[in-house]
Amino acid sequence: MRLALVTETFPPEVNGVSMTLGRLVRGLANRGYHVQVVRPSQGLDGEELGEGEKPYEELIVPGRPLPGYEGLRMGRPEAYRLLREWTYVKPDLVHVATEGPLGLAALLVARALQIPTSSTFHTNFHQYTGHYKIGLIEDFILVFLRIAHNSCGCTLAPTKQMADELKALGFKNTAVLSRGVDTELFSPDKRDEQLRAEWGAKPEDRVVVYVGRVASEKNIDLAVEAFRHSRSDSRRSVMVVVGDGPERARLQTKYPDIVFSGMRKGEDLACHYASSDIFLFPSITETFGNVVTEALSSGLAVVTYDYAAGRELIESGVNGFLAGFDQPEQFMETAKVAAELDDEALSSVKVQARETAMTVSWERVIKEFKQSLEIVRNRDRRMYAKIL
């Protein structure tokens, strides 16, 4: 299959959507697909040359920073360029991974050329509006998302919960495409006592960590509040925030006692996870939350809300801890329960977390993605053949 995958974010950008798409693209390419990734320029020197050999083709269009979030970029709606490219070499399927201007242009061109289309729902953009002072347009964004996704042969959501919610909102042809985790990279074996010492933590101390975008919608103030609420006089604890984003400067000024490590990648990121003990994730805008699976794989006791990846993978009190969705007080009390575990009990939770992550395979996810794409391609081909 010749697949054109259109996205506003892709490696080397660091976020959950980028990481997921990078995995899926490489997985499909390694299974014989010819994949063209259509994405905006990320403003990186020499990015068109790339980093080493890539098993996929890239079509890079001009990009500009997302308003209010300089770290993310949108692609220009290059409809004419896509029309020219895809008329010359026609894809068998166009998969729209993100719903920005570039994705919308791709949908219009695919419809004009009668190319089957599919999509994924990665980000609750309509829920972000309140965090960026544009809450009045939430309904408009939801209508736009629904129209865009309903023009595709299917919309793949990361959990059954999300697929059901989208269906209730009027999204058609929803299905589930879960997420995997690299258990070799994210492993308890990456624990580094020297790194912990740099944070000011001794071997017997507890390290509480948050990993992800440092942005308003991630609710990091609550994570810090929960950390402080759960501290005790009997055991010293340290909190580390790993990541970057528009809220970092404010948070660093507000919480001088918290360690801010900035953005980390690869082995470095894996060491930051594994060198911690408890993972706090109070975000309420996730479609999945890849960081939850990475933390589980790293052998951490995860504290999160009962939805998205948490609901899919965690049995509260066994391999992690769940608080009622969007219940801040309950989240803080749940974090306190995790923090007050003795070493033996915490070790049991961490072992169970790792065992859960070992069952979440990227191999299975890529296989499911491949099957979904082929169903849409074959069904839409028959539809267009009847029209002709």
Q: Which residues pair with 173 in a beta bridge?
A: none
CA distance 65 to 289: 23
Predicted pLDDT at 133: 45
Contact 259, 225 (CB under 8 A): no
**Domains plus CATH for the chain?**
2-180+362-387 (3.40.50.2000), 188-357 (3.40.50.2000)
**In 61-192, alpha helices (H):** 79-88, 101-112, 125-128, 138-150, 160-168
**DSSP character string of 178-221:** -----TTTS-GGG--HHHHHHTT--TTSEEEEEES--SGGG-HH
Whole-angstrom CA distances from 268 to 161, 186, 245, 262, 279 are 33, 10, 18, 11, 17
CA 86 vs. chain centroid, Å, equals 29
| 282 touches 208 (CB < 8 A) | no
Distance in angstroms (rounded) separating the CA atoms of residues 122 and 145: 12
- Please give the radius of gyration of the chain, using alpha carbons only, rounded to the nearest integer: 21
Distance between CA atoms of 4 and 1, rounded to whole angstroms?
A: 10
Q: What is the pLDDT of residue 134?
A: 45
List the pLDDT tens digit at each of the 388 positions of the chain.
Answer: 999 999 999 998 888 889 999 999 999 999 999 999 999 998 765 455 445 578 999 999 998 877 665 666 788 999 999 999 999 999 999 999 988 899 999 999 999 999 999 999 976 443 444 444 444 566 778 888 899 999 999 999 999 999 999 999 999 999 999 999 999 999 999 999 999 999 999 999 999 999 999 999 899 999 999 999 999 888 999 999 999 999 999 999 999 999 999 999 999 999 999 999 999 999 998 989 999 999 999 999 999 999 999 999 999 999 999 999 999 999 999 999 999 999 999 999 999 999 999 999 999 999 999 999 999 999 877 665 555 4
Specify burial of residue 231 (Cβ count, 10 A radius: 0-12, 13-18, 19+).
middle
Burial of 131 (0-12, 13-18, 19+ CB in 10 A): middle
Across the chain, the runs of DSSP E, i.e. the strands, are 2-6, 34-40, 57-61, 63-66, 69-75, 93-96, 117-120, 155-157, 174-176, 206-211, 237-242, 259-262, 278-281, 301-305, 321-323
